[in-house]
Amino acid sequence: MAKKNEIRRIGILTGGGDCPGLNAVIRGVTKPAEDYGMTVFGILDGFEGLVEGKAKELTNSDVSGILARGGTILGSSNKGDPFHWPVEVAGKIEIQDKSQAALNNYKAWNLDALIAIGGDGTMHICNKLSQMGMNVIGVPKTIDNDLEATDLTFGHDSAVYVVATSLDRLHTTAASHHRVLVVEVMGRYAGWIALNGGLAGGADIILIPEIPFSWEKVYAKIKERELMGKKFSLVCVAEGAKPLGGEIVTRGTDIKRTDPVQLGGIGKVVADKIEENTGRETRVTVLGHLQRGGSPTPFDRILSTKFGAFAIDLVAQKKFGRMVALKGSEIKSVRIEDAISRQKLVKPDDQAVIAARRVGISFGD
């Protein structure tokens, strides 16, 4: 006979943008759940499903064979914040609070706990839902790697792999045509993808949000390489990078999102300025959603599986209001409110920055 306070029914959702490793976490939660005698309900399309009441039971067979699959079998949405819910009223978008509907569905499904997989935005939502009475566990996911409370988020390694292999391919065409090739990568206000991807892919110049750059220093690096007989250069620029005294380049706003600012366009600005001021033929490649898709790297498959298995253990132990985190080589947990206290940004004295400078990479500063 089940104990009165035993956890029996848990929900799981994937919030925010998709990324490699989400399915591995779902698998890492669902398989051990059977050992605990728990039933897992997969909530569809992120927090949209929690608000609109869309869910299905997940079994061992549902998660069989999904370890290496990209994306999420549950669907996701980065416009489904229950506290910032877009509703069309008289032809205009109106933002409403639908958190009570989310709580009602949580209760209607008789859930004992909710595991939410997502990035900074998802963790902020988790913190608010926790305060409303839900038993929540967070699992950190973002290719941007901008959550301070964990050494790494899954999805980041896979995104860096895409950037590095793209730079490898562009290196040969840049050298063949004596061009400067600019690669714009994701990351929003954090430069981790550009830094690690650029370092792994042999970029000559890396431009990140945390180190505002000088146009003259960028031109000087390209001309310096030419004097050394290197008639091409690779520039890896983060979407949130900006010049000294300048502003972040944006391509619009979307009020349906909690953070309405849509970044993008800095790559073309950099390419145009370089061509105009150095005379060197310059092209730009925007990797965009290529960085989010495809199979997770082995590292991300392992990390995601560890995160999922640890999350279900936290549920069983009733350690709610916590987020799974990688600390060194061990998986631990931190309070969600501590996890979102500040963003993890690249520090000027980060070892990767120092190493990059040592091998001659310029940050334009």
Backbone angles phi, psi at 89, to 5 degrees: -125, 120
Residue 152 and residue 145: Cα distance in Å, rounded? Answer: 6
* Residue 113 · residue 137 · CB < 8 Å: yes
Is 236:200 a contact under the CB 8 Å cutoff?
A: no
> Can 259 be counted among the known catalytic residues?
no
What angle is formed at CA 196 by the lines to CA 191 and CA 198, rounded to 5 degrees?
Answer: 90
Q: Which two tokens stand for residue 226?
A: 């030419």
Q: From residue 167, give the alpha-carbon distance in Å to each of 97, 195, 285, 337.
A: 44, 13, 10, 38
Tell me the backbone φ, ψ of residue 305, rounded to 5 degrees.
-65, -40
Per annotation, catalytic residue among 45, 112, 120, 144:
144
Kindly report the three-state secondary structure assignment for every residue of 297-357: CHHHHHHHHHHHHHHHHHHHCCCCCEEEEEECCEEEEEEHHHHCCCECCCCCCCHHHHHHH
Could you give the count of Cα atoms lying within 13 Å of 322 in the half-sphere of its Cβ?
Answer: 18
Q: Which amino acid is at 86?
A: P
> Which tokens is 33 given?
């759940």
Alpha-carbon span 229 to 358, nearest angstrom: 20
Q: Which residues lie below 8 Å from residue 339, measured CB to CB, with a gap of 6+? A: 123, 138, 140, 147, 148, 149, 150, 323, 325
Residues known to be catalytic: 144
